[in-house]
Amino acid sequence: MADGRVERGNQTRRTVLERTMNVASVDGLEGLSLRKIAADLGLSKSGVFALFGSKEDLQLATLRAAVDVFVDQVVRPVRAEPAGLAKVWRMCKGWLDYSGRRVFPGGCFFYSVSAEFDARPGPVRDEIAKVRSDWTRYVERVLDEARLAGGFRDAADASDVPQLAFELIALMELANAHSVLHGDPMAYERAGRGILGRLRAVAAAPDELPERPPAFTAPS
């Protein structure tokens, strides 16, 4: 019986977080309400309050759940691939696909909540900053692995890696922002061309990278 209660609680938690991730990607983490989420899902308010003791707890849990989704969509598909700039490109393409397919209805979850909390001190902002730093470090690591594997034309120069990571992330996030605001799926193709152009410019073997990204089809 105890195991059954635990599993029901875990299922309720998953159901709530699936809802809050989608709501927060559009309305922001401040738009979350334990009472409203319970009503929307037809759940017991007392049960939801027992799982998330405060709005801040709900915000942090939603953020961490979104990280798991992001890892499944962007990081895990390329994790086992051999180091190289082709892996970097597929990672970036995975990010563009994640945003463009609207895995979250508001586009990139972390772009949305970063703009919301970037000037607000507190635990939620600190967690967002950590997640963003973790992603930047991961992009830098994948780039540096490509450099060490001989993928860069100048393999000895590690100083360009943080700059290149910054530029790739900037292109991806601008595509997300432009697409969400203007409803223009071509932003992803433009970003893809920019990313490939930067990677081919530093590549020891640019022919191993495509010249152009694939055409992007907006979700129906």
pLDDT of residue 90: 97
Contacts of residue 147, Cβ cutoff 8 Å, sequence gap at least 6: 155, 157, 158, 161
Look at residue 120 and tell me if it is in a domain.
yes
What single string gives the DSSP state of each residue in 70-90? HIIIIIGGGTTSPSSHHHHHH
Quick: pLDDT tens for 6-15.
Answer: 677 688 889 9
**Would you say the C-alpha torsion 188, 109, 30, 5 has a positive or negative sign?**
positive
CA distance linking residue 23 with residue 16, whole number of Å: 11
Look at residue 182 and tell me if it is in a domain.
yes
Look at residue 214 and tell me if it is in a domain.
no
22: pLDDT strictly greater than 60: yes
State both tokens at 159. Answer: 């100083």
What's the number of domains the chain is made of? 1
The residue-averaged pLDDT of 135-147 equals: 97
* Residues of the domain holding 159: 60-208
Look at residue 38 and tell me if it is in a domain.
no
pLDDT of residue 10: 80
Inter-CA distances, 96 with 17, 24, 32, 65, 188, Å: 23, 20, 26, 20, 6
Quick: pLDDT tens for 119-130.
Answer: 999 999 999 999
pLDDT of residue 43: 85
Question: With a threshold of 0.85, does the pTM exceed it?
Answer: yes
Q: Looking at residue 161, which CATH number applies to its domain?
A: 1.10.357.10
**Would you say the C-alpha torsion 26, 27, 29, 34 has a positive or negative sign?**
negative
CA distance linking residue 121 with residue 139, whole number of Å: 26
Look at residue 213 and tell me if it is in a domain.
no
Look at residue 26 and tell me if it is in a domain.
no
